[in-house]
């Protein structure tokens, strides 16, 4: 096993579907391949043990002799009768070990560690996905034909939420074997571990689509395959071709920005200096996505951590930096490039703008796709306000509020509520600007494809 493979910097040589198949052959040894390159397959059992995983834990999911995947969830055939909270509680116990192993496998990719994809992440994604599904109009989003299959709207809603729950909990499970092909492999791993999911096509088909499409390159590839479309055509096509569970899962997954996602190995200033994803999660967090009652407006609120809370400081003491003013505050360490770019400015204002610029650039494509998913899911939606808040801007924000995961909810908000000082930081996204951003993304995608084909 080669830790921190240089191959990740090279273009994959194999298709995602092929890598997933070769990592998890039905009667063969399970293998790990994070890069998508032909020469980078490793026997999974030995790979995980060499990565420092407890052999007793590895044996719970992979047979030590045959190398086959053996993990099964408990009592799979009664899941449709179980309340949602009971099912979630069982998954929290059953999937703990597989996701710990998945994180350990991902951590071999880079020495700073991979941003957190263990059980807390999938719990947060499942919860956020359910919150989005709850806010959708039942018949408008899922169709009269879907609802008519059930004795009541309540029964239809129960199945809708269970599909969303399972998509959230299983979407990253294949990271144990391959980051590159994890969205395709997670579908198969879910089917092998939880066979009852496959017995109802009305359940498994949308679940499989949602899991496959949560991966940004896969979602992007599907949408790009439709050719050039006007923004209205694009949003309408997304509504028709990408099911509500896939839209909800994609948004729920891509807006997870939080110090809790910072890998413990990134507890050094050197790691923050070189890894932009670590900076994104260290200095900021996605606080909430709020939809107005009439669904015409949405507010996506991100907090910039201009002060490290006790909870944050205890988790990452190596990243704490005493403020140069007389406040006695402890601020998060900013990477060298950010300090150089905004040298001479007073903290926090220049770093706020630097963080906003970095997030908007680093996560441009996933955020644009998320905006399009929201416009497709809520036809009345006219504007999305992306707001960057200074955590200390108001007394409420300066309080001891913790670093909870993002909340998605209905509510009445306006910019005055969010920015009482009147200082606007962020952007307004309407359908037209979302289309313009997507056109830029498409142009980059086409140019990249042309360069690749010319080699």
Chain segment 368-394, per-residue pLDDT in tens: 999 999 999 999 999 999 998 876 644
Do 404 and 371 meet the contact criterion of CB atoms below 8 Å apart? no
Query: What pLDDT score was predicted for residue 7?
Result: 47
Q: For position 346, what pLDDT does the model report?
A: 44
Specify the pLDDT at position 412: 87
Query: What digits encode the pLDDT tens for the residues 272-312?
Result: 999 889 999 988 899 999 999 999 999 999 988 878 878 88
**pLDDT value at residue 376:** 97
User: CA 49, CA 454: separation in Å to the nearest integer?
Assistant: 41
Q: Which pLDDT tens digits describe the chain residue by residue (455 residues)?
A: 555 555 455 678 899 999 999 999 877 899 999 999 999 999 999 999 999 999 999 999 999 999 999 999 988 888 889 999 999 999 999 999 999 999 999 999 998 999 999 999 999 999 999 999 999 998 888 887 788 888 888 999 999 999 999 999 999 999 999 999 999 999 999 999 999 999 888 899 999 999 999 999 999 999 999 999 999 999 999 999 999 999 999 999 999 999 889 999 999 999 999 988 999 998 889 999 999 999 999 999 998 887 887 888 888 999 988 766 656 678 888 888 888 776 654 444 456 778 888 898 999 999 999 999 999 999 999 999 999 887 664 444 444 455 678 999 999 887 777 665 555 567 899 999 999 999 999 988 888 777 766 65
DSSP label of 6: G
Q: Which residue, among 368, 381, 392, has the nearest Cα to 443 in the 3D structure? A: 368
Return all residues near 82 (Cβ < 8 A) that are at least 6 apart: 90
**Residues ≥6 apart with Cβ < 8 Å to 318:** 267, 268, 269
Distance of CA 429 to the CA centre of its chain: 21
What's residue 328's pLDDT?
67
75 burial class (0-12, 13-18, 19+ CB within 10 angstroms)? Answer: exposed
* Residue 242 near residue 213 (C-beta atoms within 8 A): yes
Strand positions, DSSP E, 120-257: none
d(CA 231, CA 435): 5
Contact 169, 91 (CB under 8 A): yes
For 228, the 3-state DSSP assignment is: coil
pLDDT of residue 345: 47
pLDDT at 5: 55
- In this predicted structure, what is the pLDDT of residue 419? 65
pLDDT given for residue 148 in this prediction = 82
pLDDT at 10: 65
Of 117, 91, 121, whose CA–CA distance to 103 is shortest?
117
Kindly give the interhelix angle for 119-135 and 244-254, rounded to the nearest 10 degrees.
130
């Amino acid at each position: 096993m080669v830790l921190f493979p240089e191959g990740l910097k090279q273009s994959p040589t194999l298709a995602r579907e092929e890598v997933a198949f070769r990592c998890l052959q039905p009667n063969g040894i399970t293998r790990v391949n994070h890069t998508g390159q032909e020469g980078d397959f490793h026997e999974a059992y030995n790979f995980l043990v060499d990565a420092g995983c407890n052999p007793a834990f590895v044996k719970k999911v992979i047979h030590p002799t045959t190398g086959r995947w053996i993990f099964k969830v408990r009592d799979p055939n009664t899941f449709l009768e179980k309340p949602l909270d009971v099912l979630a509680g069982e998954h929290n116990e059953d999937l703990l070990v597989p996701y710990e192993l998945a994180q350990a496998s991902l951590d071999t990719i880079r020495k700073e560690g991979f941003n957190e994809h263990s059980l807390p992440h999938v719990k947060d994604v499942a919860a956020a996905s359910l919150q989005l599904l709850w806010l959708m109009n039942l018949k408008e989003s899922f169709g009269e034909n879907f609802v008519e299959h059930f004795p009541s709207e309540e029964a239809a809603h129960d199945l809708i939420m269970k599909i969303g729950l399972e998509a959230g909990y299983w979407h990253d499970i294949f990271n144990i074997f391959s980051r590159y092909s994890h969205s395709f492999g997670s579908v198969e791993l879910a089917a092998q571990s939880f066979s009852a999911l496959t017995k109802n096509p009305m359940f498994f088909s949308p679940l499989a689509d949602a899991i496959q499409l949560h991966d940004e390159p896969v979602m992007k590839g599907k949408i790009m395959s439709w050719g050039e479309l006007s923004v209205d055509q694009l949003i309408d096509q997304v509504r028709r071709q990408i099911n509500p569970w896939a839209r909800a899962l994609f948004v729920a997954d891509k807006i997870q920005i939080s110090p809790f996602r910072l890998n413990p190995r990134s507890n050094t200033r050197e790691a923050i200096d070189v890894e932009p994803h670590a900076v994104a999660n260290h200095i900021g967090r996605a606080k909430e996505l709020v939809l107005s009652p009439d669904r015409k407006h949405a507010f996506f609120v991100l907090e910039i951590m201009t002060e490290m809370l006790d909870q944050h400081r205890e988790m990452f003491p190596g990243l704490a930096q005493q403020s140069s003013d007389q406040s006695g505050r402890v601020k998060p360490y900013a990477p060298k490039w950010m300090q150089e770019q905004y040298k001479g400015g007073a903290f926090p204002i220049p770093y706020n703008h630097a963080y906003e610029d970095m997030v908007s650039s680093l996560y441009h494509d996933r955020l644009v796709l998320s905006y399009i998913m929201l416009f497709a899911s809520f036809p009345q939606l006219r504007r999305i306000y992306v707001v960057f808040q200074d955590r200390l801007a108001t007394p409420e924000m300066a309080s001891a509020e913790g670093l909870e995961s993002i909340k998605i909810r209905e509510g009445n908000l306006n910019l005055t509520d969010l920015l009482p000082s009147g200082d606007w930081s962020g952007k307004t996204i309407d359908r037209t600007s979302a289309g313009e951003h997507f056109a830029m993304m498409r142009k980059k995608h086409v140019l990249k494809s042309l360069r690749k084909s010319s080699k």
